Amino acid sequence: MSLPIPKPRFEAPSYQTSQTQSRRKRVARAIVAVDLVILLAPPVHWLFAKGGNTSSLWYFLAANALVTLSLFALWLTARTDGDEKE
């Protein structure tokens, strides 16, 4: 008579899950802070406006593209957090 084979456990230990979640929260906060500085800091806009209309337009387009990409990054982070809880 033999013992049954134990089922493998693929769950991460709770301390790793909490560390991962806190790290993701810090990354999300950093992304939001960088986005706010890029979009809402008037001195940055003024710096690029001194170069002329072309550089100001490129700054506007690049800043908005960066914020759009960061929204996708935040969405992926939130989606990954939800997957860990299940």
pLDDT digit string, tens, across residues 2-44: 777 777 666 555 555 677 778 888 888 999 999 888 888 777 7
Domain count, the chain: 1
What is residue 3's three-state secondary structure? coil
Determine, yes or no, domain membership for 1: no
Residue 1 tokens read as 């008579």
Looking at residue 54, what DSSP letter applies? H
Determine, yes or no, domain membership for 3: no
Range of the domain at 30: 20-85
Determine, yes or no, domain membership for 6: no
- pLDDT band (50, 70, 90) for residue 77: confident
**CA 35/CA 1 separation, integer angstroms:** 64
Determine, yes or no, domain membership for 25: yes
Determine, yes or no, domain membership for 42: yes
* Residue 86, pLDDT score: 44
Determine, yes or no, domain membership for 8: no
Sorted by sequence, the CB contacts under 8 Å of residue 9 that are 6+ apart come out as none
Looking at residue 6, what DSSP letter applies? P
